Structure 1
Amino acid sequence: MLNVSENSFYTGQTSPIFNKNIAKQARAFHRQIEGYKPTPLVSLPLLAEKLGVKSILVKDESHRFGLNAFKVLGGSYALGRLLAEYLNIDIAEIDLKTVSSKLDKPLVFTTATAGNHGTGVAWAAREMGQKAVVYMPKGSSLVSAERIRGLGAECIVTDVNYDDTVRLANKTAQENSWMLVQDTAWEGYDKIPTWISQGYMTMADEAIDQAAEMSEGQPTHVLLQAGVGAMAGGILGYLADRLGADNFKTIIAEPAVADCIFRSGTSKDGTIVNVSGDLNSIMAGLACGEPNPVTWPILRNCSDLFVSVDDNVAATGMRILGNPLKGDQAITSGESGAITMGLLYLLANHPEGQKIAQSIRLDQDAVVMIFSTEGDTNAERYRQIAWEGMLPL
């Protein structure tokens, strides 16, 4: 249920590509998109009291551009940077509503996705008057596929796992001269994944600005979920630069069946370790076996703990957020969004978790920040978990 390792590679070294200055550039781009507004940062004071911490702050990404997930931040910023580069103009000159008029014909963007990233790319392509082709791994939610198609993109569900689907998308892009917009990197392909992770920093920039206006104060503990680590790395890089890496504790959480970050963090020399197989988890957005080499260095340098958990931990987080103590606000959080809340609950209530919490001073003086990165993107399964009690602890 709970597998924890202290990060022996911690240095606190910040990143030159994930910092507050670049975050400001990304947020300036997002601000000019019609419908932009910061998503809520929700305080849960009664839950904080029950779990023995000072405050719990939850960034609720179910409100992002009406897409029920945060991923559009990365996809839209990457598409904006790609179009700016293609047109040889500054990204500040990219207007989503008029950029298509600068092109002779629409460009085709393609990606592999577990759902939310592809939705973001499809939405951004549509908003910019471009085309998108999205590949999904076997076992993907048909609801997610239909949502992507509803945004005007072509969506193809493959018969291989996520990492092999990424390879298929890359191969097809090369064969058709399409632009691959992937949120993981490999040798020779790191510029676009960097832009995607930089786009995610808007979420953290909003959260820290919002926290500055609240009585709870800035976070002393941050819990981040990881698939390939693109979001976790971008967010952690920003926070380490703005707050100082030594001023808060960071826990990186993953599904046990796809714990590539955990295994990399517990390797002999801190090098990347891949996980293969079907990687079946309810946390589809985190079911990735190959860490992003662009963001791995910041995770290695600035994380305090690596944790892998079973699916029932995420399910518990969903139920806690959706069924709050009287007086706290309800938050609809999907499987990949709620893993950190489930983990926080374990750290407060599980005997082994309590020892870990004590070791990192997760106590009555702790201000905990978590990022609920998606809402009920799979509504049927959300009901099975929240209503019917699927996957109990």
Structure 2
Amino acid sequence: MTDPSWWYARPGGRGDWTCPPAPDGVRGFHASLDGYAPTPLAELPPLAAELGVGRVYVKDESSRLGLPAFKALGASWAVHRVLAERRRRYGEGAPLTLVTATDGNHGRAVARTARLLGQRARVFVPRGVHPAAASAIAAEGAEVTPVAGPYDEAVRRAAGAARAPGAVLVQDTAWPGYERIPAWIVEGYSTLFAEIDAQLGGPPPSPPALVAVPVGVGSLAQAAVTHYRSRPAAAGPALLSVEPEAAACVLAGLVRGEPVTVATGETAMAGLNCGTPSSIAWPHLRHGLDAAVAVTDADSTRAARDLAALGVSSGPCGAASLAGVRAALTGAGARRRRTALGVGASSTLVLLSTEGAAANPHGD
């Protein structure tokens, strides 16, 4: 039987591949910030019954450090590292301009961090981003520059603007020659997974059977792989990436066995509307993911409504995790996909809901 175009599972499993862990000190840094608290890990028994598993937990990132998405974890740690390095080399100096491109949440996180630390921010916003999301970035004091093209074009524009004196690019995707700051952003996301460990009963943690991660350029998925694959392979969960059908660059790359760029379309999952995987994420995704799935806007919108009915505020990007797990574990061919993921009737699933409904007006 041929796999459907929206699904990929690693032939023969991922084997014994491992990677180094995230550095110590990231969660301690976040814990020192005003307003820090672990985000909820909500158990939702109706979803467990629907999916035929033991337990389903949703990591609810609808309120993270005062913003409606997880992105503040990466932005705050990366900017902290940038400013600390600058002070070591040059002293305090004049404020920097932090430059980035965004589909919404990352840009707002960079803008908020800049405002709190007395820096400036300039944010490039591609087509398809709701005007309310751009307005929220501007309300943080950032200069917002609209871009007529897609996300990849906005990244190119931001990289060019960051060559100006007193500017630094704080981008959550990497390419050859620009990898250190994106790596710091990925490190920042490690706090989310450390919280999950503690919330599931660690240390030592009680690992879930499956973790589902929404994917744009793959930085959060890289953090998931780093966290779970830095342990013995037998101790880790299956990792499932979830993308929009309109921008499934990681799925396409896994099928081809090499990174690819895809032409992106319009999608309500604006924060996942990315055509090229991050260069530092790709090796982790290639070796550390177990499966990938692409979902429709209708699927993610339905999932967001269902999560809201269960008390979890989630935008289309965050709800993509539930849409992806539904696609993988139910419907025609589900038995084979469940076997590939190692999911059974007693399994525990963790779904990352990466944004609240307020973060993405497309979900309204």
Q: Matched residues in 1 for 2:284 and 2:360: separation?
A: 34
Paired AA for residue 77 in structure 2:
Y
1:5 aligns with 2:8: yes
Q: Tell me which residue corresponds to 1:388.
A: none
Q: Secondary structure at the match of 2:64?
A: helix
Alignment partner for residue 285 of structure 1, among 271, 295, 299? Answer: 271
* Structure 2: distance between partners of 1:296 and 1:11: 17
Contact 1:144/1:377 (CA < 8 Å) preserved in 2? no
Q: Which residue of 2 aligns with 1:265?
A: 254
Counterpart of 2:357 (choices 353, 371, 376) is 376
Partner in structure 2 of residue 46 of structure 1: 46
1:159 to 120, 123, 148: 148
Deviation at 1:274, TM superposition (A): 0.8
Whether the 8 Å contact between 1:225 and 1:254 is mirrored in structure 2 is yes
Deviations 1:349-377 (A, max 9, x none): 32233431244332212110111000013
Cα deviation 1:139-179 (Å, max 9, x = unaligned): 21111111111111111111111001100000111134410
Determine the C-alpha separation between the residues in 2 that align with 1:188 and 1:381. Answer: 34
Shift of residue 213 of structure 1?
5.9
| Aligned 8 A contact 1:2 1:309 in 2 | no
Q: Counterpart of 1:97?
A: none
Amino acid at match of 2:53: V
Q: CA 1:12 to 1:321, structure 2 compared with 1: closer, same or farther past 3 Å?
A: farther
Q: Does 1:320 align with 2:306?
A: yes
In the TM superposition, residue 251 of structure 1 has moved relative to its aligned partner by 1.1
CA distance in 2, matches of 1:178, 1:221: 41
Query: Does the CA contact (< 8 Å) of 1:143 and 1:378 recur in 2?
Result: no
Q: Please say if residues 14 and 245 of structure 1, whose CA atoms lie closer than 8 Å, have aligned partners that are also in contact.
A: no
Residue 139 (str. 1) matches residue 139 (str. 2): no
Report if the CA contact (8 A) 2:130-2:362 is conserved: no
Aligned positions, number: 358
Per the alignment, residue 68 of structure 1 pairs with 68
Conserved? CA contact 2:186–2:220, under 8 Å: yes
**Residue 150 in 1 paired to residue 167 in 2?**
no
Q: What is the aligned counterpart of 1:225 among 190, 201, 214?
A: 214
Partner of 1:92: none
Please point out which of 181, 185, 197 is paired with 1:208.
197
1:11 & 1:226 partners in 2: Cα distance? 22
SS of residue paired to 2:63: helix
CA distance in 2, matches of 1:381, 1:322: 15
- The Cα of 1:253 is off from its aligned counterpart by 1.2
Which has the higher mean CA deviation after the structures are superposed, 43-52 or 79-88? Answer: 43-52
2:262 is matched with 275
- Pair 1:260–1:319, CA change in 2 (3 A): same
Residue 14 (structure 1) aligned with residue 6 (structure 2) = no
Alignment match, 1:391: none
The one-letter code of the counterpart of 2:187 is Q
Distance 1:50 1:374 in 2: 23
- Return the TM-score normalized by structure 1: 0.86
Distance in 1 (alpha carbons) for counterparts of 2:92 and 2:208: 45
| Structure 2 stretches lacking a partner, 5+ long | none
Deviation, 1:3, is: 1.2
Q: CA deviation at 1:2?
A: 6.8
CA distance in 2, matches of 1:229, 1:162: 14
Gaps of 5+ in 1: 90-101, 325-329, 384-393
Counterparts in 2 of 1:121 and 1:127: CA distance versus 1, 3 Å: same
Which amino acid in 1 is paired with 2:246?
V
1:81-126 CA deviation, whole Å, 9 max, x = no partner? 000111118xxxxxxxxxxxx6232111000000000011001111
Which residue in the other structure is 1:350 paired with? 331
